[in-house]
Amino acid sequence: MLMTIAVIGAALLGEGLEAATVGVLFSLGEALERATMDRARQSIRSLMALAPAEAIVRQGDHERRVPAGEVAPGDVVIVRPGERLPVDGVVVAGASAVNQAPVTGESIPVDVASGASVFAGTINGQGVLDVRATRKAGDSTIARIIRMVEAAQAQRAPSQRFVDTFAMYYTPAVIAIAVAVALLPPLLAGGDWAGWFYRALVLLVIACPCALVISTPVSIVAAISAAARSGVLIKGGAHLEAAGSLRALAFDKTGTLTVGRPRVVTVEPFDGRAPDDLLALAAAVERYSEHPLGAAIVAAARERGLPSNGHVATAVAATTGRGISATIDGRAVRIGARELLANDLDPAVEQRLAALEEAGQTAVLVEEDGVLAGVIGLADEVRPEARAAVAAIERAGIRETVMLTGDRPAVAHAIAREAGVDDVRAGLLPGDKVAAVEELLERHGRVGMVGDGVNDAPALARATVGIAMGAAGADTALETADIALMGDDLGKLAFTIRLSRSAKRVIAQNIGFALAIKAAFLLLAIGGTVTLWEAVFADVGASLIVTLNGMRLLRQRGE
């Protein structure tokens, strides 16, 4: 509006060439700004081109090439070496290494075999894969990421809302000042009407808030696009800015700081039998258990190549949260936590169990005919990158890291020491985790919570920013978290915090530069030392400078 008034005014003054120059320069600047913003927005949409347009579907004993959009859930798709996967699905035959960088941001290929989940747009390695589609192509993980990022780019960040509100009051104020410049000097001091009217027109052009208004959204769009291309989904500008102001981070333990898969570490008989015999006996019973610890025991026996030794379990009964019992060769076998056993434990055994727990292992006792046969110690492995990731988070400005877990204190502290976390809260129920987050909020003001996006939902919702780990393919995590790390790489946390703080710095630079340019040229306009086309050149130039400065965020990549 300000520019239009200036062009009409210049034409009324007979400055047709200047009016035309103003119109051309302004239109050129607007076109360049739109092209630059479109590039930022399209940088993420270009990921959609990674998914192939066609797919090879197995139908009985023959194959048929069809448009990817026609593949229905349940269809089996053949993916040859070097090809991109057309749909999300589960491998039903074959083995290969798949580059999942377009979805998770991880450049190292992931080994997949039967039962593994795979995503559209990822690149198959050397093997042939048969993949059963689980979603239509339009509902794939990468398609949903693109839709969510585009929606996030349209949301207003706090700084953007402030600038928009400022501009709403700024425009009428500028018009009032321009009217005063045009009228007051001639009326009060007898100045040249045409000269002061021309200065008022220049003031209108200079005062155009283009650079100020574009300064924030271009930075937000660029940062969100850069994050998505590195496997981090940020659900809006508000969450992007909030991530940069976090002072503490709370972590769930299982599946976040640890890999979430327990493994057998210790097999210790108490009755003189061989460790492998104890493990084989336990596996014969746990084969009927659905508990993760039982599955780990069965897996350990399989890895060691232990035969069942003719063990056949009958009368199997599981006790929720305690363990499992069965009858093997006429002997009563019970396996589980110490609470499962009615008899008091020998002090030496108690001491040994305490040592295992101190080492971060969960002790599973094996009892045969009422006599303690031994103990199996299991541990959930800390993620290999956890310690380095926590250190990087602290270098990025996080003052305190806390682990929140329902596990026992001894196990929790052992994991925390290995991961380098500052504090531990153990034995927590979901409500206790919320209370812990609230206590951190009282001390630090802004707190992030990192979890799996499902079990930790109450704590994620209460935190300033809820961050879901390993959200690729997880509908709940994608929908509920403020920020979702598509892969399982904790190192993306430090990248996200640094990106957020970079975005906030760039926004501050842009706003400061835009206001400084406006102030300087307003003084020159009132002084009569700036022409109309010079004013529009300064306005367009300032807009382009802040746009290009914001676009620098697109170059940031996760480690």
The residues facing 520 across adjacent strands are none
d(CA 511, CA 492): 28
Q: In what order do the strands lie in the sheet with 371-382?
A: 258-269, 371-382, 362-368, 331-336, 323-328, 313-319
| Number of C-beta neighbours around residue 60 at 10 A | 6
299 Cβ partners below 8 Å, 6+ apart?
263, 264
Active-site annotation, residues = 252
509 is written with which tokens?
């630079």
Q: Which helix (H) or strand (E) holds 183?
A: helix 158-189
Distance CA(200)–CA(128), nearest Å, equals 72
Please report which helix (H) or strand (E) contains residue 459, including its range. helix 457-462
3-state SS assignment for residue 363: strand
- Strand, coil or helix: 145: helix
Residues 6 or more apart from 165 whose CB is under 8 A from it?
A: none
Sheet of strand 62-67: strand arrangement: 62-67, 54-59, 76-79, 129-133, 89-93, 117-118
Q: Is the Cβ–Cβ distance between 422 and 400 less than 8 Å? A: yes
Task: Give me the amino acid identity at 106.
Answer: E
Q: Which residues contact 546 (CB under 8 A, 6 or more apart)?
A: 211, 214, 215, 218, 510, 513, 514
Angle at 341 between CA 336 and CA 345, to 5 degrees: 110
Provide φ and ψ at 382, rounded to 5°: -70, 140
Q: Beta strands 54-59 and 89-93: pairing type?
A: unpaired
Residue the block writes with tokens 């991961």 = 419
Cα three-residue angle 341-346-352, rounded to 5 degrees: 95
Q: Which two tokens stand for residue 147?
A: 């839709």
Distances (CA, A) of 271 to 236, 267, 355, 375: 61, 12, 19, 11
Q: What is the DSSP letter of 310?
A: T
Cβ atoms within 10 Å of 467's Cβ, excluding its own? 30
- Measured CA to CA, the distance from residue 20 to residue 29 in angstroms comes to 14
- Alpha carbon separation from 505 to 38, 161, 338, 447, 495 (Å, rounded): 22, 17, 55, 20, 15
